[in-house]
Amino acid sequence: MSLLKCENVTLGYEGKEIVSNISFELNKGDYLCIVGENGSGKSTLMKGILGLIKPYNGKIEIQSGGVGYLPQQTILQKDFPVSVNEVILSGCLVKHRFNPFYTAGDRKAADEAAKKLELYDLKKKCYQELSGGQQQRVLLARALCAAGELLILDEPAAGLDPIITNELYDIIDNLNKNDDITVIMVSHDIKAAIKYASHIMHIGVSSCFFGTKEQYLTTESGKSFLGGDTNG
């Protein structure tokens, strides 16, 4: 059984179609990178998968106990006046929206997420005092607390320096391979997509490709985006 299935999905806003007739399936443990030109509809598709907008046509089915979401960082997120532990714990509220209190299980999950992302010793530290890379790891830990089997990431390395970016990509890769977390990541970093992803979705203005990384490397879109370098 697939973890996520989109069948002939058309999405948009105020009656205007942004992406049309999108169909694909992901199984547990897959790692999908969504790439494409600016304005092609990558973020619109993400919002559809998250249930933030409803399809005009088609259907989206998710067989998962929860979805963790890491959006692009905003000034507000960077200025959380709370502790690292409080930010991570807040991800648990997604699983019990009508109960504002944390359970022992929530606190255990937050501790486990903090340890996986090497944040446990920073639990009591103020989020504002962290470096950009540390802040992004905290937000990833929060998303991990919300995730059942599916983690959705929107440009997670935006604004980070190359060393921190590579560290973050390695962490995400470990979550995918070692914890069997299915990953969907929107990225402009096609080199990282080719290195880490098992599947690629390339959304163009007039067409959409979905397939394995190996299949993508043989397409004109793949060759064009990689500038002719298809060695990964």
The residue with greater pLDDT, 37 or 74, is: 37
Question: Residue 174: pLDDT above 60?
Answer: yes
Rg over alpha carbons for the chain, rounded to the nearest Å, is 18
The pairing of strands 150-154 and 182-186 is parallel
Which pLDDT band, with edges at 50, 70 and 90, does 209 fall under? very high
**What distances in angstroms separate CA 78 from CA 114, 134, 201, one per listed residue?**
18, 11, 30
For residue 88, give the nearest of 139, 33, 34 by alpha carbon. Answer: 139
Q: What is the pLDDT of residue 65?
A: 72
Domain with CATH 3.40.50.300 in the chain: 1-64+149-232
The overall average pLDDT reported for the chain is: 88
Is-contact 141 117, C-beta < 8 A? yes
Superfamily of segment(s) 1-64+149-232 = P-loop containing nucleotide triphosphate hydrolases (3.40.50.300)
Which pLDDT band, with edges at 50, 70 and 90, does 25 fall under? very high
pLDDT tens per residue, range 116-147: 999 999 999 999 899 888 999 999 999 999 88
Which pLDDT band, with edges at 50, 70 and 90, does 189 fall under? confident
Q: What is the pLDDT of residue 122?
A: 95
Question: Residue 148: pLDDT above 90?
Answer: no
pLDDT tens per residue, range 45-59: 999 999 999 999 999
Q: What is the pLDDT of residue 224?
A: 79
Helices (H), 81-200: 84-90, 104-116, 132-146, 162-178, 190-196
Question: Residue 232: pLDDT above 60?
Answer: no
% of the chain with per-residue pLDDT over 70: 91
Q: What is the pLDDT of residue 228?
A: 54
Which pLDDT band, with edges at 50, 70 and 90, does 229 fall under? low
The most confident of the ranges 63-67, 100-104, 162-166 is: 162-166
